[in-house]
Amino acid sequence: IIKTAGKRYLKIPKLGYVKTSKTGVLQNTKIKRYTVLLEPTGKYYLSLQVEISEPEKYSLTGKRVGIDVGVADLAILSNGLKYPSFNSSYFEKKAKIWQKKYSRRRHLVKLLVLQDRNKRVLCPRSLESFTNWQKAQKSKAKCQAKAANQRRDYLHKLTTHLVKQYDVIAIEDLKT
């Protein structure tokens, strides 16, 4: 059973005390399940399944809207509003650069490992003994995660805005 311990800590069985920032949200809730994830970036994430009493409801606006999902623009509303596609090109370019570095470094490491094996060295090196390609892998993962997080944040903000503004939302169902 997970318990909140103080203002910024959760007590998790087998792990002990974990520092977190969202313990205020867990007031008056019952934690059912938890999952701990290790991301490729090296960060750990705690996912909680929580039972709450009653979620807050948004006030009714009486508005309706249809959404046309497009390729050039992300969404075009029936009232003429356009939402542009998200542009995360900076971090995607950085991720592509790190992907090249990672691939090159991993290839060189594999060659060195094969050389050690073919020369029958007394203590042959393994893939894990080389840290340079592992650093490149972490940097690549960080850039990819940053771009994905920005894209996800943009979509969450957009959908939350639409749900607060309109009561009925109809979305086209076309295969593009």
Task: Tell me the whole-structure pTM to 2 decimals.
Answer: 0.75
Residues 148, 98 share a domain: yes
What CA–CA distance (Å, rounded) separates 93 from 91? 5
Our count of domains for the chain comes to 2
Residue 44 in domain: yes
CA dihedral 155, 37, 34, 28 (to 10 degrees): -50
Residue 83 in domain: no
Domain limits for position 139? 89-165
Residues 94, 45 share a domain: no
pLDDT, residue 83, reads: 92
pLDDT, residue 176, reads: 60
Residue 98 contacts residue 91 (beta carbons within 8 Å): no
Residue 121 in domain: yes
Residue 171 in domain: no
pLDDT in tens, the chain (176 residues): 788 888 888 888 888 888 888 788 888 888 888 888 888 888 888 888 989 888 788 888 889 999 998 888 899 999 999 999 988 889 999 999 999 999 999 999 999 999 998 998 888 898 888 999 999 999 999 999 999 999 999 999 999 999 999 999 999 887 76
Residue 70 in domain: no
What CA–CA distance (Å, rounded) separates 174 from 70? 10
Neighbour count for residue 128 (Cβ, 10 Å) = 8
Residues 47, 93 share a domain: no
What CA–CA distance (Å, rounded) separates 138 from 145? 10
